Structure 1
Amino acid sequence: MILTVTLNLALDVTYDVAALVPHTTHRVRAVRHRAGGKGVNVARVLHTLGQETVATGLCGGPTGALITQELTDSSVPHDLVPVAGDTRRVVTVTDADATVFAEPGPIVAPQEWEHFQDRFAARAARARVVVLSGSLPRGLPSDAYAVLTRLARRAGAKVLLDSGGPALRAGAAAGPDLIKPNAAELAEAGLDPRTLPLVVSRGPDGMLAGTPQGHWEALPPEILPGNPTGAGDAAAAALALALRDDTPWPQALADAVALSASAVVTPVAGDVDLATYHRLREHVTVREIPCPW
């Protein structure tokens, strides 16, 4: 089982418009609401692929109730831990690209964080891989992912960390099996990529990987238009499967690039187009390179 963690859950609201123009009124062509946050998106992709997964995280208030109901309705396995504060919303406006407005999220009390750690440790004991994704809600220490990494490793699970800023920097120090930032997050965290097992997302330019087994560059066979919001989460899902199965890195990167691209052509984060994934997977270019950092 792959356990995904979203400490700063969100209700994703997507507005589809013809073109986003600042300081004007827009006619929204379509509105979509669904449970979101990076770890939830990872779990949703894994569920679509027919893989065993459970999504956990902190969830509260009226927005949290909507999230719980949507996950139940969409049959995504979940075990969300309640908090008193209201879960945030993330509004994405899509035209030819995506513009995202992310609320800060609830303030989590110390006792709520302690309760989550206990529930997490019990779940991690039944997981082969734990995916720690996204930002931290207010009230949590910057080393929250480091704490969960150590708990997961103690339970015998591998850990994939996908975050940014101080949370990424502190989490990386705890020794996750793989770190998956994008290029901006890696630079912001001030980490030395030469010392870490990591895969760096570069959007339409593919991915760079630095591992104890070598360094690779993976390039998509074509650039697809669409909504890139959930592309990194689809890549994280593919890499979590690779960690679980000890997949060789060239194959793991080809899967991650193809699954990431297949998310771009779908209207909302957390979805993938399996026909696109299977079509692209055999045509991703993966080559071993000298250390790029």
Structure 2
Amino acid sequence: MNKLILTVTPNPAVDVTYTVGGIELGSSHRVPAPLHRAGGKGLNVSRVAHQLGHATLAIATAGGPTGEQLRRDLEAAGIAHHLVPVAAATRRTVALVETAGNNRTSIFNEIGPALSAAEWQQLAAAVVTHLAGVQSSDGVQRPGVLVASGSLPDQAPADFHPALVALAHAAGVPAIIDTSGAGILAAARAGADLLKPNNHELLEATGERSLVQAARVLLGLGAKRVLVSVGEEGMLAFSATTSGYLQAKLPRPLSGNPTGAGDAAVSAAAVALAGGETGLLEILRAATAWSAAAVLMPGAGEISPRYTELAQQLIITEH
């Protein structure tokens, strides 16, 4: 039996994706009905894993009418979940995907409402409960990895990500953290098994000008692996056990919606670690291919069946 991929999304959203030929600032635009989907980076990670047949359980908060909309979408998709009820309404994100010209995607993210101390405690309690195992029709299923992805609500505890890493390690489970700012530094100090910033997040968090040096800062703090998304240049992979690094990229960039590409990469890494794969090359290959396959889909949280074909096209170099 595949081990469970346990994801934590403290700041989920209802994603609203509009497709438009092009955007002229200050003008009105006619658009087709948008795609509404339960989102937030951790939920996207679970959705991709679920699409490919991997067992997953998504832990998130939910509140208000948008929280109910999020719950209904997860149920309709068949994604196992534990939603912690909160007083504030779940936020929304809006993506405007242009299909003409430069294929640009503009994203508007509402700021997540603050949670109460009791709500944070309930979220942590849900993580502890499910790290011990999840009841399924086949018996108790053990998590193989814990993933915490995305931004945190306003006034979040500074030790949230380090605490998750500690809980995962106490349960004998690797931890993947995908966040930004001070949170990624704190997760590195806690010994996260894999961090997944993009190039902008990595440079901003570390204050470095070089991606290589910035990744080395995270490894020096205690992270075991770092994957860095670099847009059309693919992905870089670093390990605390080697002095060099790997780069994977496609021969030509793909056109599409990059909104969920990073989440697909995290999902691939989570599936690999949950299955016992620790090799940096194989993790990088899967993460880059799944990330590229996500660009070909209209909304975040799904990947194109072409991911195996894309994996074979990757150009992987060692530096």
Q: Give me the TM-score of the superposition, normalised by structure 1.
A: 0.95
Q: 1-side partners of 2:310 and 2:229: how far apart?
A: 17
Deviates more, 1:179-188 or 1:195-204: 195-204
Letter of the aligned partner of 2:269 in structure 1? Answer: L
Specify the code of the residue in structure 2 equivalent to 1:228.
Answer: P
- The answer to whether the Cα contact below 8 Å between 1:239 and 1:252 also exists between their aligned partners in 2 is yes
2:258 matches 1:266: no
1:101 corresponding residue in structure 2? 108
Partner of 1:202: 230
Q: Helix, strand or coil for the counterpart of 1:282?
A: helix
Distance in 1, matches of 2:9 and 2:76, equals 19
Q: 1:193 matched to which residue of 2?
A: 215
- Measure, in 1, the Cα distance between the counterparts of 2:159 and 2:231: 27
2:89 alignment partner, SS class: coil
Q: Distance in 1 between matches of 2:288 and 2:252?
A: 11
* Equivalent of residue 130 in structure 1, options 146, 154, 157: 146
Q: 1:19 aligns with which of 22, 40, 46?
A: 22
Aligned residue pairs: how many?
A: 288
Task: Give 4+ residue runs of structure 1 displaced > 6 Å after superposition.
Answer: none
Answer yes or no: is 1:280 the counterpart of 2:283.
Answer: no
Distance 2:190 2:280 in 1: 23
Q: Which residue of 1 aligns with 2:119?
A: 112
Offset of residue 173 of structure 1:
1.6
Cα deviation, 1:245-275, whole Å, max 9, x if unaligned, reads: 224222221111111111001000001111x
User: SS of the residue aligned with 1:14?
Assistant: strand
For 2:166, give the aligned amino acid.
Answer: R
1:238 aligns with 2:268: yes
Aligned to 2:257, what secondary structure does the other structure show?
Answer: coil
> What's 2:239 paired with?
211
* AA of the residue aligned to 2:294: A
Letter in 2 for 1:224: L
- Equivalence for 1:58: 61
Partner of 2:172: 156
Deviations 1:180-211 (A, max 9, x none): 10011111111742124201111121111110
Provide the residue aligned with 1:48 in structure 2. Answer: 51
- The CA distance in 1 between the partners of 2:129 and 2:168, in whole Å, is 10
CA distance in 2: counterparts of 1:169 and 1:248, whole angstroms: 23
Post-superposition shift, 1:19?
0.5
Q: Which moved more, 1:169-178 or 1:265-274?
A: 169-178
Is 1:92 aligned to residue 95 of structure 2? yes
8 Å contact kept, 1:71–1:77: yes
Report the Cα distance in structure 1 between the residues aligned to 2:113 and 2:240, rounded to whole angstroms: 39
Query: What is residue 252 of structure 1 aligned with on the other side?
Result: 283
Displacement of 1:171: 2.0
What secondary structure is seen at the aligned counterpart in 1 of 2:302? coil
| RMSD between superposed Cα atoms in Å | 1.3
Matched residue SS, 1:8:
coil
Once residues 35 and 240 of structure 2 are traced to their aligned partners in structure 1, the CA distance between those partners, rounded to angstroms, is 42
Cα deviation, 1:138-194, whole Å, max 9, x if unaligned, reads: 131132111111111111110011010122222222111010100111111117421
Kindly provide the amino acid, as one letter, of the partner of residue 170 in structure 1: A
Q: What CA distance in whole angstroms lies between the structure 1 residues aligned with 2:53 and 2:10?
A: 24
Q: For the residues of structure 1 that align with 2:310 and 2:177, how far apart are their CA atoms?
A: 26
Residues 50-93 of structure 1: CA distance to partner in whole angstroms, max 9, x if unpaired?
00101111111111111001100111111111111101000000
* 1:180 correspondence with 2:204: no
Alignment partner of 2:158 out of 142, 153, 169: 142
- For residues 89-130 of structure 1, the C-alpha deviation after alignment (integer angstroms, 9 at most, x for no partner) is 000000012100000122100111011111111112231101
Preserved contact between residue 63 and residue 87 of structure 1 (Cα < 8 Å) = yes
Q: Tell me, what secondary structure is at the counterpart of 2:34?
A: strand
1:43 is displaced (CA, Å) by: 0.3
Distance across 2 between alignment mates of 1:87 and 1:226? 27
2:254 aligns to what? Answer: 224
Amino acid at match of 1:278: T
| 1:231–1:260 contact (8 Å) kept in structure 2 | yes
